[in-house]
Amino acid sequence: MSTRELREQEGLAAEVEFAADLTDADRIRILRDLLRTADAIRKSKSAEELQRDEEVRRSLEEPRPQRYIGRWERLG
């Protein structure tokens, strides 16, 4: 394991340890902040950007073989 990978692993372990100490109120506050941020981002996007985001979301929900077949067909 490289030095960089070791530092990343140690950083992730520290974040997990920190998260384990959060109270339910802290978790709810963090989730609400994330939802407000996502809502603000969504409101700032144009209709075209929102449509593109929706297409990406739908394509990611497709089963993998169907997703790849669809991409292949669009390329061909």
Residue 31 pLDDT greater than 90, yes or no: yes
Amino acid code (one letter) for 41:
I
Per the prediction, the chain carries an average pLDDT of 89
Q: State the DSSP H helix or E strand holding residue 76, giving kind and residue range, or none if neither.
A: none
Q: For 49-61, what is the mean pLDDT?
A: 89
Angle, vertex CA 23, rays to CA 17 and CA 25, nearest 5: 140
- Name the pTM for this structure: 0.52
Q: What is the structure's pLDDT at 59?
A: 80
Rounded distance between C-alpha atoms, residue 44 and residue 13, angstroms: 35
Is residue 69 over pLDDT 90? no
Q: Rg of the chain over CA atoms, in angstroms? A: 19
Kindly give the interhelix angle for 64-75 and 47-61, rounded to the nearest 10 degrees.
130
Question: Residue with structure tokens 């169907």?
Answer: 66
